[in-house]
């Protein structure tokens, strides 16, 4: 699954276009390396998001095929760390 699609479907970034822009600006890393929007992601990988004043690292638990409800987001990603910069 594409990284930008995963971020949008899992609800970690509200829209796919915003996810694409975040990747292009270098705000998203997969496995500790900057990732492009088309980067393929798999279950078990770690994703780091830099949004606003926070840096959050998630582990992918499942790949959602369509956008998930807010209350189900934790079934698709596990928060590993969260820092305020």
**pTM score:** 0.91
The percentage of residues in the chain with a pLDDT greater than 70, rounded to a whole number, is 100
pLDDT digits (tens, 9 = 90+) for 32-45: 999 999 999 999 99
Give which of 29, 70, 26 is closest to 46, Cα–Cα.
29
pLDDT digits (tens, 9 = 90+) for 56-78: 999 999 999 999 999 999 999 99
Alpha carbon 37 to chain centroid, angstroms: 10
Check which CATH number belongs to the domain holding 62 and give it. 3.10.290.10
Residue 51's pLDDT band, with cuts at 50, 70 and 90, is: confident
Domain count, the chain: 1
DSSP string, the chain: -BHHHHHHHHTSSS-HHHHHHHHHTT-EEETTEE--TT-B--TT-EEEEEETTEEEEEEE----SSPPPGGGGGGTEEEEEEEE-
Residue 68's domain comprises 3-84
* Cα(66)–Cα(43) distance, integer angstroms: 16
């Amino acid at each position: 699954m594409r990284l930008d699609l995963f971020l949008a479907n899992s609800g970690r970034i509200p829209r796919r276009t915003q996810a694409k822009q975040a990747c292009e600006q270098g705000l998203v890393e997969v496995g500790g390396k900057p990732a492009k929007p088309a980067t393929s992601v798999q279950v078990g990988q770690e994703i780091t998001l830099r949004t606003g004043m926070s840096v959050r690292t998630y582990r992918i638990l499942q790949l959602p095929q369509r956008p998930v409800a807010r209350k189900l987001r934790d079934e698709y990603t596990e928060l590993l760390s969260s820092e305020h910069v």
